[in-house]
């Protein structure tokens, strides 16, 4: 069996105003001397969970590993190396195993990037979000936009060939010209992959509260849609190929780890709050790092809950994930009723006419703007 690994690093120096990921800051954890002290002991726990995975799964080949967060680049390179070695010694690492580390620009220097490379990381994903100072301020990001050029340049110099940036568009107060600046700045970097996400205002975040109180403007959906079209135009012109609703890459630079999620392959999520999926069974770990630690140290499973997907859920997920891909959904996997519902979207140009004729339901550029609406119509 193929089994990808997601390793969650649930720590950040400071929480960004828009983010509701399962991550904790030193003040939330009441740690007085920063996060450096955590690296070693947290990784010990992750390694124990990998032992649990080996006992449960048996033999497997690992095609991808992804250190996500939180801020994985806060960990010591030697500790990241210990995780990779543990997975390598417990399973069979495929020869071309893709091993990604999410990186916040302010947390690394050239030396640390070189150490991550030596540890076995072969793909770096950098949280850029925007190149415009006032947008980063609204997002409540700590990093300096100038650092992006430096960090990606260093990553390239120490030998990383696969470098990605994450962008966010649609931030309140971001003009079309601001977004164009961010697009141009990203395209000037030595990268081969871009993820661009529309800002989601998550309930309970500082951003959501600021909008509620009227201190921050609201999201403008029309402007956000226009920004998606701008991004797709510019990325395509620069040789980045669209391969998932929010992802573009140079040829061969697609993230194989993310593709494993989208194709519903098997993966094990290590760490607090991490989700796993093996053959239609899903489970997720307890969320708080302290409870996770207690469970692991007591030799207990850190799983909080699990579900076995009903066939109808499996089918809904297949539709939701595959409609986001250029290959789309094979028409012969849909009922006559579903195809009838989709016909108006073909007529309006939201679904690609040529692909429809060739047997698949795939989004045109304008259709990508309403992907969720289209898929909702055909969910069972
Ligand atoms: C959880 S972060 C981890 C990476 C790293 N900590 C960083 O922020 O650079 C992964 C990505 O999710 C995206 N993200 C997080 N919250 C989001 C939100 N509310 N709306 C849109 N994108 C979001 C950001 O682009 C971010 O780079
Ligand atoms: S966006 Fe990244 S750096 Fe910011 S709080 Fe979320 S995980 Fe941490």
Residue 255, domain CATH: 3.20.20.70
Domain that holds residue 370: 312-316+328-378
Residue 352 belongs to some domain of the structure: yes
Alpha carbon of 133 to ligand 1 centroid (Å): 17
Residue 303 belongs to some domain of the structure: no
> Cβ(169) to ligand 1 under 6 A?
no
Residue among 59, 52, 45, 33 at smallest CA distance from 8: 45
Encode burial over 197-230: b for 16+ CB neighbours within 10 A, e otherwise: ebbebeeebebbebbeeeebeebeeeebbbbbee
Q: Which residues of the chain have pLDDT under 50?
A: none
Residue 304 belongs to some domain of the structure: no
What whole-number distance in Å separates Cα of residue 376 and Cα of residue 380? Answer: 9
Residue 38 has a pLDDT of 84
Q: In a mutational test of the pocket of ligand 2, which residue from 27, 69, 129 has the highest number of ligand atoms less than 8 Å from its CB?
A: 69
Measured by CA distance, the residue closest to atom 6 of ligand 2 is 19
Same domain? For 97 and 236 the reply is yes
Residue 185 belongs to some domain of the structure: yes
Q: Which residues contact 122 (CB under 8 A, 6 or more apart)?
A: 97, 98, 99, 100, 160, 161, 162
Same domain? For 199 and 119 the reply is yes
Residue 132 has a pLDDT of 96
Of all ligands present, the nearest one to the C-alpha of 24 is: 2
Residue 14 belongs to some domain of the structure: yes
Same domain? For 336 and 189 the reply is no
Residue 250 has a pLDDT of 98
Residue 18 belongs to some domain of the structure: yes
Residue 214 belongs to some domain of the structure: yes
Residue 352 has a pLDDT of 97
Residue 31 has a pLDDT of 77
Same domain? For 250 and 345 the reply is no
CA distances for 296 relative to 48, 105, 290, angstroms: 7, 31, 10
Q: How many domains does the chain have?
A: 2
User: In this predicted model, what pLDDT tens digit does every residue of 297-343 receive, in sequence order?
Assistant: 999 999 999 999 898 888 998 999 999 999 999 999 999 999 999 99
Residue 192 has a pLDDT of 98
């Amino acid at each position: 069996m193929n089994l990808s690994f997601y390793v969650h690093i649930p720590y950040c120096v400071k929480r960004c105003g828009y983010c509701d990921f399962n991550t904790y800051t030193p003040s939330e954890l009441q740690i007085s001397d920063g996060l450096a002290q955590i690296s070693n002991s947290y990784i010990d726990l992750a390694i124990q969970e990998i032992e649990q995975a080996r006992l449960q799964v048996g033999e497997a080949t690992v095609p991808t590993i992804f250190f996500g967060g939180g801020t994985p680049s806060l960990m010591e390179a030697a500790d990241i190396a210990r995780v990779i070695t543990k997975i390598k010694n417990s399973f069979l690492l495929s020869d071309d195993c893709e091993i990604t580390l999410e990186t916040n620009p302010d947390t690394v220097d050239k030396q640390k990037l070189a150490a991550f490379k030596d540890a076995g990381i072969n793909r770096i994903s950098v949280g850029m979000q925007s190149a415009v100072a006032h947008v980063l301020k609204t997002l409540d990001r700590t990093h300096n936009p100038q650092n992006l050029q430096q960090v990606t340049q260093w990553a390239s110099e120490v030998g990383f060939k696969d470098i990605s940036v994450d962008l966010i568009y649609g931030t309140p107060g971001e003009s079309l010209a601001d977004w164009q600046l961010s697009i141009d700045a990203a395209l000037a970097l030595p990268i081969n992959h871009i993820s661009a996400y529309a800002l989601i205002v998550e309930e309970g975040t500082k951003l959501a509260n600021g909008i509620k109180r009227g201190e921050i403007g609201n999201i403008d959906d029309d402007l956000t849609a226009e920004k998606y079209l701008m991004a797709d135009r510019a990325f395509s012109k620069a040789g980045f190929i669209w391969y998932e609703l929010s992802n573009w890459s140079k040829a061969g630079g697609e993230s194989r780890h993310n593709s494993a999620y989208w194709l519903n392959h098997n993966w094990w999520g290590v760490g607090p709050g991490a989700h796993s999926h093996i053959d239609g069974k899903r489970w997720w770990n307890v969320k708080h790092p302290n409870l996770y630690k207690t469970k692991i140290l007591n030799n207990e499973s850190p799983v909080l809950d699990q579900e076995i997907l009903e066939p109808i859920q499996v089918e809904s997920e297949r539709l939701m994930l595959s409609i986001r891909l250029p290959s789309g959904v094979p028409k012969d996997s849909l009922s006559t009723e579903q195809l009838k519902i989709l016909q108006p979207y073909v007529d309006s140009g939201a679904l690609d006419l040529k692909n429809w004729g060739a047997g698949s339901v795939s989004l045109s550029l304008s259709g990508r703007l309403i992907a969720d609406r289209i898929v909702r119509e055909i969910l069972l």
